[in-house]
């Protein structure tokens, strides 16, 4: 009976039934480790978490830095997360460091996010599961609900043609994600 129930249990949207899994935690920890590469970032800094999910990023960040955290999500999991739909554009204030972990795969137009971030944000740290591994079939992508599956060079082309500067890319071949730390025009004019 229990087996049948779990067999027929509907998967949560955005694969959130996996949100406590180790790879998701590792991704958030890896993303936070990129913050150390940001030059002259004073504390407390304002961290904006796009597609915040269960706020694991906030917990990891506060263990390491003094931050002022704002999380946004289409389906907030707690009252302190701001309701926001990425398909309608970015929030007006992206803080000092904006994070988008496990979000961009679900957006039809990632290019728009990069184009908007260039004028409204300072630093952006984002993850993306690229097609370079060759591991994801069309069926699997549909199951996951991912709207795009670009290669590293396609993503980097979107980032740089939007005017963002790539500071660092970190590939995790075990968990099949890449993370980027990029800076915007406004961050360059601050330095």
Question: Shortest Cβ distance from residue 155 to ligand SAM (Å)?
Answer: 17
* Closer by beta carbon to ligand SAM, 140 or else 190: 140
Considering only residues 16 through 45, tell me which ones interact with ligand SAM, judged by CB under 6 A: 16, 19, 24, 28
Q: Cα–Cα distance between 73 and 85 in angstroms, integer?
A: 7
Distance of CA 108 to CAs 2, 105, 112, Å? 37, 8, 9
Residue 83: exposure state from Cβ atoms within 10 A (0-12, 13-18, ≥19):
exposed
Q: How far is the CB of 48 from ligand SAM (least distance, A)?
A: 12
Q: Cβ closer to ligand SAM: 52 or 124?
A: 52
Q: Which residue of the chain is nearest ligand SAM when measured via CB?
A: 53
Sheet holding 81-83, edge to edge: 81-83, 67-73, 45-50, 97-100, 123-128, 177-183, 165-172
- Sign, CA dihedral 169-34-69-18, equals positive
| Cβ-contact 22, 75 below 8 angstroms | no
Smallest gap from Cβ 153 to ligand SAM, in A, equals 23
Query: Which residue from 45, 53, 110, 183 is in contact with ligand SAM, where contact means CB under 6 A?
Result: 53
Size of the site for ligand SAM (CB under 6 A): 21
* 30, 47, 48, 51: which one binds ligand SAM (CB under 6 A): 51
Contact 168, 39 (CB under 8 A): no
H/E stretch holding 73: strand 67-73
> Contact 103/85 with Cβ under 8 angstroms?
no
Residue 129 makes contact with ligand SAM by CB under 6 A: no
Question: CB-wise, 67 or 101, nearer to ligand SAM?
Answer: 101
Least distance to ligand SAM, CB of residue 52, Å: 6
Residues 55-114 that bind ligand SAM (CB under 6 A): 56, 73-75, 84-87, 101-103, 106
- The dihedral through the CA atoms of 18, 77, 49, 13 has a sign that is positive
Q: What residues line the site for ligand SAM (CB under 6 A)?
A: 14-16, 19, 24, 28, 51-53, 56, 73-75, 84-87, 101-103, 106
């Amino acid at each position: 009976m229990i087996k049948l129930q779990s067999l027929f249990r509907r998967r949560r949207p955005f694969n959130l039934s996996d949100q406590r899994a180790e790879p998701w935690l590792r991704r958030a920890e890896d993303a936070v480790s990129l913050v150390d590469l940001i030059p002259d970032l004073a504390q407390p800094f304002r961290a904006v978490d796009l597609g915040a999910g269960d706020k694991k990023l906030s917990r990891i960040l506060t263990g390491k830095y003094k931050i002022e955290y704002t999380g946004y999500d289409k389906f907030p999991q707690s009252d302190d997360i701001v309701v926001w739909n990425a398909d309608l554009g970015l929030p007006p204030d992206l803080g000092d460091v904006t994070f988008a972990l496990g979000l961009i795969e679900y957006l039809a137009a990632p290019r728009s996010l990069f184009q908007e971030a260039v004028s409204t944000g300072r630093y952006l740290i984002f993850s993306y599961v690229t097609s370079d591994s060759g591991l994801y079939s069309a069926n699997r992508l549909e199951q996951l609900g991912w709207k795009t599956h670009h290669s590293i060079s396609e993503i980097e082309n979107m980032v740089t043609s939007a005017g963002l500067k790539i500071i660092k890319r970190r590939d995790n071949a075990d968990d099949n994600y890449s993370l980027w730390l990029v800076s915007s025009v406004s961050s360059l004019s601050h330095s």
